[in-house]
Amino acid sequence: MNFSFLELKIPPVLVVAVTACLMWVVAWLLPTLNLLLPGRTPAAIVAALVGGLIALAGVIEFHRARTTTNPLRPGNASALVAGGIYRLTRNPMYLGLAVALLGWGIFLSNPASLAVLFPFVAYMNRFQIVPEEKALDSLFGKEFAEYRSKVRRWL
């Protein structure tokens, strides 16, 4: 079955919200898997804050470059952003969202709910990142290919 109709259609923040809800539902449905993790709340807060800062660093670099931050319209990019946090990851905004979800999973303290992160990453790769990379390749060609060869997609 071809699901290409989902490419660049669902805002990543909505995907995060759905993922967070699914993580909660899994923890609720499987309470016997809940772990007693001392310090889980501070650890969850730290992870969520780190995730937020990573994502924010990506947004700041886009604003510095005066290019679009709209994830549903990567073809509107006016610049290839490769500085700042983009020297470490090609997708700091999505990485930050994933780290924030990891914080939520730590707070839930349920290994099964943490497993929901894997479909999140798979979805983001297939329906958000790959189409974005196609658009950037069309817009920036060799420059993007060079950047892609030096910097990993996530970490």
Residue pointed to by tokens 């490769």: 82
**Ramachandran class of 147: left when φ > 0, alpha when ψ lies in -120 to 50, beta otherwise:** alpha
Mean pLDDT for the chain overall? 97
pLDDT digits (tens, 9 = 90+) for 126-153: 999 999 999 999 999 999 999 999 999 9
Per-residue confidence at 2, pLDDT binned at 50, 70, 90?
Answer: confident
pLDDT score, position 1: 80
pTM as predicted: 0.96
Burial of 96 (0-12, 13-18, 19+ CB in 10 A): buried
76 vs 139: CA distance, rounded Å: 9
Helices within 86-128 (DSSP H only) = 92-108, 111-114, 117-123
- Helix H segments across 30-153? 40-64, 92-108, 111-114, 117-123, 130-150
| Cα distances (angstroms) measured from residue 34 to each of 19, 29, 89, 112 | 18, 10, 32, 9
∠ Cα 114 116 117 (to 5°)? 75
